[in-house]
Amino acid sequence: MKKVILFFFFCFLFAGLVAQTTKKISYKAEYLDYDEEILPDAQRLKGNVVFYHENTIGYCDSAYLYEAENYLIAFGKPVRIYVGDSVTLYGNKVYYQGNTRLASIAQDVLLTHGNSILYTDSLIYDLHNNVGYYVTGGKMINVEDTLTSRKGKYYTKQDEIYLNEDVLLVNSSYTMDCSSLLYNTLSERVYFTSRTHMISDENEIFTTSGWYDTKNDVATLVEDVELYNKTQQMFADSAYYDKIARSGNAWNNVEIIDEEKGYVVNGNYVEYHETGGYSTITDSALLILIDNRDSLYMHADTLKILFDSLQEPQLMKAYNHVKFYRQDMQGVCDSLSYIMTDSLLQMYYNPVVWSGENQLSADTIRFTILDSVNMMVELCRAGFIVSSLYEETEFNQIKGANITGYIKNKELYLVDVVNNAECLYYIQEQDSSLIGINSSATSEMRILLKDNEISSIIFYNNPDGYIYPDQNLPTEDRQLKDFRWLIEYRPKEIKDIYVMPIPRIKYEEQDAEKFLDTDQ
């Protein structure tokens, strides 16, 4: 007996579930008629028709109701269907399937949901899953965003619409086109699902994935990112961009190019500002100063470039393990600064510069750049100039408290030494055979060079000097005090700027350190 009762209980429960899934369409109308010859199996509803099905209410001028199939065709200008309390559908003709809960809407179709209005010629709306589909073209307006596409799938419960084929988004900030994207109508955020092109008055952006918040004008761009503005081009694996602040961050394989101002910046992390201020480059940072004849390549742990509001570079700072290469000149130091407005470059912490056969070192090295081939270099405190002879077994040496060198057409041609001037100079015949070794000391001296070799020396103020035959000058006296030959640090090609950073030594010029470490 218990088994029979359980059997009938489950039969009743199953019948109830079937009844739930096949709930009949109900209605109200001013007129109802039936004519099997005109419209078999259908009731014709006329005059202020209202039909009901689960959480759906529809209003129309007239309708055909097929009760056996639980199916209704509604007509009106327009037919209105309210789905729950959030979605309203409009169209001149609606096919409503009660068993599957599918509504096919045609002619002047609208779907309203929250702040969104979707316009299309025909729409299928799945009331069970709260999804609307169109395949003949559609337009959505959501607050300030207008989106159009050939195909679309609108998940109203999730506030998301997937757009496909000929997708276009337009708002006050950007015009965006792509083959597909996802848009959240509540957050007003775009999710990129294909290669996307964004255009504004200020810039142009390409990205493959990521998102764009149209409400707050911020974006995270991922994969093959390209950004172009009036003066610069930026490429990166990924980036974050705030259009209102006109600033952002970029990661991995970042490259910024400004052909007009003649520089290229590379790194794996960049912070940049389009309206001025400091842009920072770290992780394999590289600065290229473009010259048609001979560009300069400089690497450091961190680069900071200060721009004015017109994006004109004003100041560049390089921190830690600085190394640069140009065909006619190379250098290393721990930190440097370059004031563009004054064409003044200063190198700190064990700086060394090579020009031709000459090695220049000091506590601080300062360049005043007249143009790309002419400049003045100052070796401030403990200045030292060295050039090698006989396969780096002997060395010409110049030493002084302060040394000023003049470079013309990329060659060092004149050197002035002031205070505690010393020199050790190998006098040679034209065939490079050794005549003797000049060891001199005075308060000041001037050295003239030709083809990067010493041609003559002028001594001032009663020099103390002597010319030694080669065999008479002991080995320990062939190098001036504090002599260093640092050729292993010299970059011989561009790739060398990434290896062998020079060791940092104690630095005493407090004003320069303050200048380097304080953002202006």
On whether the CB atoms of residues 295 and 262 are closer than 8 A, the answer is no
Model confidence at 291, in pLDDT bands (50, 70, 90)? confident
Model confidence at 425, in pLDDT bands (50, 70, 90)? confident
**517 vs 502, more confident:** 502
Pairing assessment for the beta strands 87-97 and 71-83 based on DSSP bridges:
antiparallel
Q: pLDDT value at position 165?
A: 97
Model confidence at 81, in pLDDT bands (50, 70, 90)? very high
Mean pLDDT for the stretch of residues 176-201:
96
Model confidence at 15, in pLDDT bands (50, 70, 90)? very low
Q: pLDDT value at position 2?
A: 41
pLDDT at 187 exceeding the cut of 50: yes
Q: pLDDT value at position 298?
A: 94
Mean pLDDT score across all residues of the chain: 87
Q: pLDDT value at position 390?
A: 82
Q: Can you give the pTM of this predicted structure?
A: 0.80
pLDDT at 377 exceeding the cut of 70: yes
pLDDT at 1 exceeding the cut of 50: no
Model confidence at 19, in pLDDT bands (50, 70, 90)? very low
Q: Which of 16-20, 103-107, 308-312, 320-324 has the lowest mean pLDDT?
A: 16-20
On whether the CB atoms of residues 298 and 286 are closer than 8 A, the answer is yes
Q: Rounded to an integer, what distance in angstroms lies between the CA atom of residue 265 and that of residue 254?
A: 8
Q: Which amino acid is at 426?
A: Y
pLDDT at 514 exceeding the cut of 80: no
Q: pLDDT value at position 308?
A: 87
Question: 3-state class of 17 per DSSP?
Answer: helix
Model confidence at 3, in pLDDT bands (50, 70, 90)? very low
Per-residue model confidence as pLDDT tens digits over 119-171: 999 999 999 999 999 999 999 999 999 999 999 999 999 999 999 999 999 99
* Ramachandran region, residue 70 (left: φ > 0; alpha: ψ -120 to 50; beta: rest): left
Q: pLDDT value at position 22?
A: 64
Instruction: Report the candidate in 251, 249, 280, 256 with the shortest Cα–Cα distance to residue 268.
Output: 251
- CA end-to-end span of the chain: 93
Mean pLDDT for the stretch of residues 364-392:
88
Per-residue model confidence as pLDDT tens digits over 477-498: 889 999 999 999 999 999 999 9
Q: What angle do CA 396, 398, 403 make, to 5 degrees?
A: 150
Mean pLDDT for the stretch of residues 190-202:
95
Per-residue model confidence as pLDDT tens digits over 92-124: 999 999 999 999 999 999 999 999 999 999 999
Q: pLDDT value at position 473?
A: 85
Per-residue model confidence as pLDDT tens digits over 384-418: 999 888 888 889 999 999 999 888 887 888 999 99
**b/e burial code for range 64-94 (CB count within 10 A of at least 16 → b):** bbbeeebbbbbbbebbbbebeeebebbbbbb
Q: Rounded to an integer, what distance in angstroms lies between the CA atom of residue 379 and that of residue 365?
A: 5
Q: Rounded to an integer, what distance in angstroms lies between the CA atom of residue 58 and that of residue 87?
A: 12
Q: pLDDT value at position 370?
A: 81
